[in-house]
Structure 1
Amino acid sequence: MTAPAARTVLVTGFEPFGGDSVNPSGDVARALDGETIEGATVVGRVLPVSFAASAAQLEQLVALHSPALIVSLGLADGRETITPERVAINYADARIPDNDGEQPRDASLDIDGPAARFTGLPVKRIVRALGDAGHPAAVSLTAGSYVCNALAYHLGAVAERHQIAAGFIHVPNWSADTLTPAIRLAIATALTHPDDVDDVGGSIH
């Protein structure tokens, strides 16, 4: 009898941008690379902060590794909690140029795509698990309009096309040592309990 193929989790983070020398999202992806979480092997990779190249590299990684789950990470400097994103919008309005020097304004990410794409992660369950473990977390209803949102939107299309679970999590500007256990728990939660819970997770502003 042939043994079942091992599951793979693809975790992506980003390189530094905006003049910063570090990006904790990329540091976490590197830290988790090669780990085994709930029987799944983690492939951690760092993507360029580029509207075009990040999506292209994600496609290449999915084709190469055939992951069962994708968790993409990005830095939300100024936030004080870990924020799984519920939705990404078909819109780019870059406050600063990306690392390729591109700065789209009031642009569609995909002129033929839907206005928004929703996460495939159990975001409320992840927030509950993180909170129970002492990691400040909250569901986010906006991924911004920069490269993080663009990748999250593209991620939704990739997930639909390949029929895999995928979603985006913004992380605060904390150290990788602080963030890595939390993201490890988020991945374990998504692998073991893919259905979400009926918690309150909305916002009035």
Structure 2
Amino acid sequence: MILITGFEPFGGESVNPSWAAAQLAAAALDESGVPATAVELPVEFGAAGPALEKALAAGDHDLVLAVGQAGGRAKLSLERVAINVDDARIPDNAGNSPVDEPVVDGGPVGYFSRLPLKACLQQLTRAGIPAEVSQTAGTYVCNHVFYALMHQLASVPGVRGGFIHVPYAPEQAPDGVQPTMEISVMAEGLEVIARTALSTAADIKLAAGATH
């Protein structure tokens, strides 16, 4: 079973493409014979983790893809590392703005993704879907969920999981200033990532780092 999570809208937006893409990808996988479900998470530091935990407990999952919006980015971002810190630049949907607080008290400084990131990047590129390996998931609710996911999976051997950021959808940036991506392309990318993660035992070596 595959679990794909997306977020509700935040920051004054009326939509969140992460949730729309998660639903489309889960439906397409399910229809093709790969059991998958999508769950919407709140953009709230205090509620997102428990909502994720509830979703994980609801099924026997082989793979978990958490998805969030990163406005300003032009590609699907395969996040490499989650860090144990909440540092909010804007309030969450409950009005909370934690600063320099841990996601998990006493937890490790960080966790690496369990996805075969380079293999996923290669397959996305071959499919013509703009993608990159990202070295930071930020310090907002996306990173909070990424860290919470990896912390929970740390005690569940064999289950793969990770976080993917998606750009704005076209309707969120009608002026054309910010980069966008069609939700259907995001969903196709999530399908590629899911299938690659399920079929790849060991990641490949592929240069995709950053100089800054």
Report the TM-score when normalising by structure 1. 0.92
Decide whether aligned partners of structure 1 residues 11 and 89 sit closer, same or farther in structure 2, where only a CA change above 3 A counts. Answer: same
- Say whether the 8 Å CA contact 1:15–1:26 is kept in structure 2: yes
1:203 matches 2:197:
no
Question: How many matched pairs?
Answer: 198
* 1:89-100 → structure 2 map (5 Å cutoff): 89-100=83-94
* 1:1-205 → structure 2 map (5 Å cutoff): 8-36=1-29, 39-163=33-157, 164-173=159-168, 174-205=181-212
2:139 and 2:111 mapped to 1: Cα distance? 14
Structure 2 residue matching 1:138: 3-state secondary structure: strand
Deviations 1:133-192 (A, max 9, x none): 111111000000000001000111111122211100111112322211111111111111
- The corresponding residue for 1:3 is none
Q: Kindly, what percent of the aligned residue pairs are identical? A: 40
Decide whether aligned partners of structure 1 residues 194 and 46 sit closer, same or farther in structure 2, where only a CA change above 3 A counts. Answer: farther
- Say whether the 8 Å CA contact 2:67–2:163 is kept in structure 1: yes
- Say whether the 8 Å CA contact 1:81–1:138 is kept in structure 2: yes
- Say whether the 8 Å CA contact 1:33–1:45 is kept in structure 2: no
Structure 2 residue matching 1:13: 3-state secondary structure: strand
Report the TM-score when normalising by structure 2. 0.90
> What residue ranges of structure 1 are gaps of 5+ in the alignment?
1-7
Deviations 1:74-130 (A, max 9, x none): 001000111110001111110111111110011111221011111000011111110
> What residue ranges of structure 2 are gaps of 5+ in the alignment?
169-180
Counterpart amino acid of 1:179? M
1:188 and 1:62 mapped to 2: Cα distance? 19
Counterpart amino acid of 1:12? T
- C-alpha root-mean-square deviation of aligned residues, in Å? 1.3
- Say whether the 8 Å CA contact 1:11–1:43 is kept in structure 2: yes
